[in-house]
Every structure is written in C-alpha cells, then in structure tokens.
Structure 1
Amino acid sequence: MDGLLGYCRQGFEPELAAELTERASAAGLAGYARTARDSGYAVFACAEAAALDRALPFSTLIFARQKLRLLAELRDLDPRDRITPMLQALQGQPRFGTLVMEHPDSDAGKPLAGLARSLGNALRPALRKAVLLGAQDDPRLPRLHVCLVAGDHAFLARSLPADSAPWPLGIPRLRMHPDAPSRSALKLEEALLVLLTDAERARLLHEGMRAADLGAAPGGWTWVLTRHGLRVTAIDNGPLRPHVLDTGMVQHLRADGFTWQPPQPLDWMVCDMVEQPRRVAERMATWLREGWCRQAIFNLKLPMKKRWQETQSCLERFARQAGRPLTLRARQLYHDREEITVLALPA
C-alpha cells in the first residue's frame, strides 16, 4: 500500500482524515482516507505517495501527532512468526537508522504495548542480520516504524527525522511538576517544545521579556512563563495560586481578558480562555494587528461537530484580521483535549 499513516488523538480520526483529504486535493493529488472512529490513526492511500509526502510537511499538519510514509500493511499475521512476513515486505528498502515499535494511543491499542516491546526485541536482530538496520542507532537515517493495531495486523512505515515527531507515537513525555498550579501548565510546556524550534526558544524566551496571560487563573501558563524568566501580567477575575505571585515576577490584574489591553507593547501574549473559538480568534487577531504583542500562543476550543471546518474558518479569520504577515503553526497537542493550540510569530 502506498500513502501516509498519521496518528491522532482518539476520537479525532475524522478530523485527521478530512485534513489529509483536503490538503492532498489542494496539492492536486488523488487518493482516499481510511479510518475508524476511536482507532487513533488514519491512512491516506495515494498512488503518488512520494509527492504527497513532500506536499504535506509534518510541521503544517494540525490533527496529526505523527506523519509516516507507508511501506506495507500486513494482515492475518501468524502469532508464531510475525517477523518473516515483515522482513519479506521490507526487501529492497534502504537501511534504517532505528526501529520504533508502536501501537495506536487508543483503548484498543494500549493493551498491545507489551507485545510491541517483545516483538521489537526479536525483530531488531533479524533486521540487522538482513542488513536493514545498522548495528547502532543512527539518527541521520530514516526510522522504521512498526505499528501494531492488533495481534495479527500491523503497518510498516518510515519517517524522516527532519519531517516527523521525534517521540514514539508522536507524544512528548512531559512530567507534571509538583509546583505547577494546574495540569494546564503541561499544555503550554508542550506548545513551547513542539511549536518552537530549539533556536527559536533560545531567541524568543529569555529573562527580561514581558508577557500577558489572558484568563490566567489559577496560574498554570503564567507559572510556565516565569520559569523561562519572563515577567507576566496575569489577567483574570479569578484568583491565582499564592506561590505564583510569590515569584515577584507576576502582576495580577482582576480584569476581563477580552477587553483588557496593555499600556505598552509586550513580547508575548498567551491565552487559554474557555470561549467560542471564533471570538477568541478575533480577539487574538486584534492583539497582533494593534501591535500589543510580538508573538502569541493561544488555544481554540472546538465544537463537537464540524471541527475541521471550524478549525479552518478560525485560522483563516485570524490570519485575515491580524492584517500583518505572520508565521502560523497549529497543532492538537497531546495535552490538549477538544482544542487546538496556535502559535503566531512575525513572518
């Protein structure tokens, strides 16, 4: 089978399928999406898989946690020997740098974790003997992914290190810090890790910068920014955790995040307010258009239906109303729920 394999949050398979279908069509490439609700993945079959892979850079995909180039789909695997058909399917492939054993992040996929580990331990030496895998991991070479979706059903796929997520299943392993005021802190930590490059983080997040956090209570996102050395104006009528204020780097103003504006331009604005996504997108556009901040990270809470269409509409509305050239990156992060996170930088 030729095409792409994408992982996603369980329940968002239709959104990933719609995104891949529309993006492929816009690139002039024919194909079709195949998925099942709550499977945690979607396949887009396409005869021009190489062109599709190039036309859909991973960094531009919103609902995909990982983007892989399909090599084979194996069904009816014999539990006594899953390795032989995998080696046969990989004949003629160039050498891979590492093997990644995976399963969908879904209710049906998670019980396969033990099998994936044990199969990987047996498959690695077989791949090395077949000269399909180097003796040592080589991060410069494409990765081989084996995704078990059932005991007798697997996808074989590859990823390029520069065009994919570096973590298994596309999920960064972040731990909740004991001082974090709320679990929402993980959302901003993941956004800064996933949506910014190493060089951008070093350049755009450092001591002396100033930021606003709209809808800050109880202070999770404010706390993350202070850990990067930023001074934060936290806007919320609700209270912040006392230890967030104890940093001496936070000014808490009891005000409405939809009406407050800073007295002077800021480096950053972040926002995780629970509100209609179009209203949030329009207010975020105002901040960029008026020059109240140089860059922003904000969440858009999605409706229960037509989520891909609403995502497109909100991002287009934001870009149009911002009225200035911007670099936009959006992703449904692992720590997001019914929402996406958007980064806006000066172009």
Structure 2
Amino acid sequence: MNTLFMHCRPGFEGEVCAEISEHAARVGIAGYAKGKAHGACAEFVCSEAGAAERLMGALRFSQLIFARQWACGGYIELPETDRISVLLDQLAGQPVFGSLWLEVLDSNDGKELSTFCRKFEAPLRKALEKAGRLVEDTTRPRLLLTFISGRRVFAGSAPPANSALWPMGIPRLKFPREAPSRSTLKLEEAWHQFIPRDQWEQRLGDDMTGVDLGASPGGWTYQLVRRGMLVTAIDNGPMAESLMDTGLVQHLMADGFTWRPKQAVDWMVCDIVEKPARTTSLIETWLGEGLCREAVVNLKLPMKQRYAEVRRLLDRMEATFKASKVRVSIACKQLYHDREEVTCHLRRLDLKPRR
C-alpha cells in the first residue's frame, strides 16, 4: 500500500508524473512516477511503506494542477466470483471508512466498466456496512475503488477534505439549453472548483459587475448573467441575442487585450485563444492594477513541456505580484471541461469587499 494513484485527462499522464515527482522531491519522499500514454491515470510508487500516505498528507490536492483525483493504496486482484469476500479480506486491516466511491478511468475501457460498477456498488456497500468497515461519517477517510477491469482494482483511500469534489474528479453538470455554447460549462465548473459553495452569494452576487474578454458568442457571459451580474462583453464577434435581451449585457466591439474598464469590476473572465505568455501579461495587468477583484482565465497550453510552461508562468505571476507588493491568491487546475488548457483563478486579497 505504498502507491499514490491519480486520475487525469487522457494524454496528460506525463504532466501528472512530472508534477507529482517535483512535489515528492520537495518534501523529501523517494519514489518514481509512471503512467501509460492515454491511460487516463498515473502512479507515484514510493520507496518506503507508508510514504504514499505521508506524501498525501504533505500536499493539498487543490494545489495539484493536472490530477483529477487521487488515492493512496495498492492493487487487489479479484476472482471471477465472490469478489466481495476478497475485498473484505484485503480491507480488514484498514481503518473504518466514512464513504465509498467506485471509480473507473476516463477511457473507453472505463466507460464499459461503469455499468458493472453501478450494479456492484449496492451489494458491496451493504457488505462493508455489515462488516463494520463502512459508516456514514464525513470526517473519516473515503474508500476509493478504481476498477481497471472486472478482475483488478486499485483500492485506496483519501481524506474527503483533501481529495476531489466528485468521483474521478468529474462534475455532473447539465448543459443549459439557453447557453450560447458548451464552453459555459468551463466557467460553471470553475465556480465549483475555486469558490466554496457557502461563499457564492457573497462573491458571486447579483449586485456585482463583470467583464468577459473574448466573449462571443457568450458562453462565459451566460454564467455571469445567470448570477445576475451586469456584464461588459468584449469581442469583435456577435453575441447571442438571448443574452442581449436580458438587459444585463453591454457588448463592446474591441480587442480584449487592449480594452480597459473605466472603473474596477468585481469579476474578469477570459477564454481567448492566445499564447499563454501573452494571456499571463493580461492577468498581471488586471490584477496588478486592481481592475478586478477576482478573475477566471484559461491558459492555452503548448504542444510540449506543458507542465513546465504552466509552472513557469505561475511562478512568474507570483514574483510579479510580490515585487509590486500586491496580495493575490492564485489557483490553477486542468478542469474536466478543459482540453489543451488549464484554468486559473486569481483573487486580490488586499482590496476591501464592496459589502
């Protein structure tokens, strides 16, 4: 049970390996990372027993950029029949769990296994509860079973407060029919990822103002309007008529990289397709000059050295704000609805709230 198992977007296994290896070296935990190309997962195998749990305890899951979910544990080989008895035997030495998630990989094989997991979960849950291995308690570790096949499962655990918000890190969001584009789900997922739900009314209130840079046709503007904000949409392209009819949107045909508001706004959002270094400069200007209180911005990734480039740009922003003596919190995650990009959330901590 010395392995840290991580889910990820297919094709980003190398980025997960590079990121976790860097963190492990920083906290002094020896081991090696591995991941099969397009396998939708990666592992960090620790050299010492118990080191995977120590590594998890030394890190915050929310600080990992490319991992969708994680768990520390090991593999269990299952027979064709009576899988539950084998699982109970293997979990006998583990602590009592407070919840159970059956997971699969984000791959074609994983999708085929999802039906099996749905049928298997109820009898497994009942058996775990009967054996005293599972009680409903959000303070206890979560049991995460990732089925690689019907015969092989990674049995791991993770603290509920230090792991993904959803099974496999995949949110169950429904695309709103009235939204102009599916990109709207990126911003909705970002709200869930970066802002605690009990702070939505305070930080996403209907008395706030927002700017959407590169707004057309309005997928991200839709999310701001949905929260009741007054929005300035910046784009030379057209906006959806349904958004303009709300009376909450002002559309200005201008360049998102050069336009600036006359007064500071509460939110700036941006999903422009541009080189990440140029987008980073835009972020530094808006947050550094106090043009907005919070921002959600996507950074499009290069073809190679994706983790190294993201890390370099995040370090650059931190250094820039520190040199300017501006207090800004920075979070970054490759969301489920992202593709070749990562989503950054930034918040000015030295500006007084408007209410």
Instruction: State TM-score, norm by structure 1.
Output: 0.95
Amino acid at match of 1:169: M
Aligned length: 343
Partner of 1:90: 91
Partner of 1:140: 139
Partner of 2:105: 104
Structure 1 Cα separation of the partners of residues 150 and 160 of structure 2: 28
Partner of 2:57: 54
Q: CA deviation at 1:317?
A: 2.0
**Which stretches in structure 1 are left out of the alignment for 5+ residues?**
none
Q: CA deviation at 1:129?
A: 2.9
Structure 2 Cα separation of the partners of residues 159 and 151 of structure 1: 22
Q: Does 1:313 align with 2:312?
A: yes
Structure 1 Cα separation of the partners of residues 125 and 223 of structure 2: 40
**Which stretches in structure 2 are left out of the alignment for 5+ residues?**
350-355
Partner of 1:116: 117
Structure 1 Cα separation of the partners of residues 314 and 159 of structure 2: 28
Name the SS for the 2:320 alignment partner: helix
Q: CA deviation at 1:119?
A: 2.5
Q: CA deviation at 1:141?
A: 2.3
Give deviations 1:139-170, integer Å, cap 9, x for gaps. Answer: 33222111101222110011211111232111
Structure 2 Cα separation of the partners of residues 338 and 68 of structure 1: 25
Q: CA deviation at 1:247?
A: 0.9
Give deviations 1:95-147, integer Å, cap 9, x for gaps. Answer: 1122211111112211111222222233223222321113xx33332221111
Amino acid at match of 2:342: I
Task: Say whether the 8 Å CA contact 1:285–1:319 is kept in structure 2.
Answer: no
Amino acid at match of 1:96: F
Amino acid at match of 1:107: N
Partner of 1:284: 283
Task: Say whether the 8 Å CA contact 1:7–1:67 is kept in structure 2.
Answer: yes
Structure 1 Cα separation of the partners of residues 301 and 222 of structure 2: 25
Q: CA deviation at 1:258?
A: 0.7
Amino acid at match of 2:10: Q
Task: Say whether the 8 Å CA contact 2:287–2:348 is kept in structure 1.
Answer: no
Structure 1 Cα separation of the partners of residues 317 and 275 of structure 2: 13
Name the SS for the 1:221 alignment partner: helix
Structure 1 Cα separation of the partners of residues 90 and 152 of structure 2: 14
Partner of 1:188: 187
Amino acid at match of 2:188: E
Structure 2 Cα separation of the partners of residues 307 and 45 of structure 1: 23
Partner of 2:41: 41
Structure 1 Cα separation of the partners of residues 290 and 327 of structure 2: 12
Amino acid at match of 2:348: P
Task: Say whether the 8 Å CA contact 1:4–1:69 is kept in structure 2.
Answer: yes
Q: Does 1:12 align with 2:15?
A: no
Structure 1 Cα separation of the partners of residues 274 and 67 of structure 2: 24
Structure 2 Cα separation of the partners of residues 165 and 202 of structure 1: 23
Instruction: State TM-score, norm by structure 2.
Output: 0.93
Aligned sequence identity (%):
47
The range that moved more, 176-185 or 156-165, is 156-165
Structure 1 Cα separation of the partners of residues 11 and 83 of structure 2: 29
Structure 2 Cα separation of the partners of residues 50 and 168 of structure 1: 20
Moved >3 Å (runs of 4+): none
Q: CA deviation at 1:8?
A: 0.9
Partner of 2:352: none
Q: CA deviation at 1:321?
A: 2.8
Task: Say whether the 8 Å CA contact 2:141–2:157 is kept in structure 1.
Answer: yes
Name the SS for the 1:234 alignment partner: strand
Give deviations 1:190-217, integer Å, cap 9, x for gaps. Answer: 0001111123322211022111110000
Q: CA deviation at 1:34?
A: 2.0
Partner of 2:237: 238
Name the SS for the 1:138 alignment partner: coil
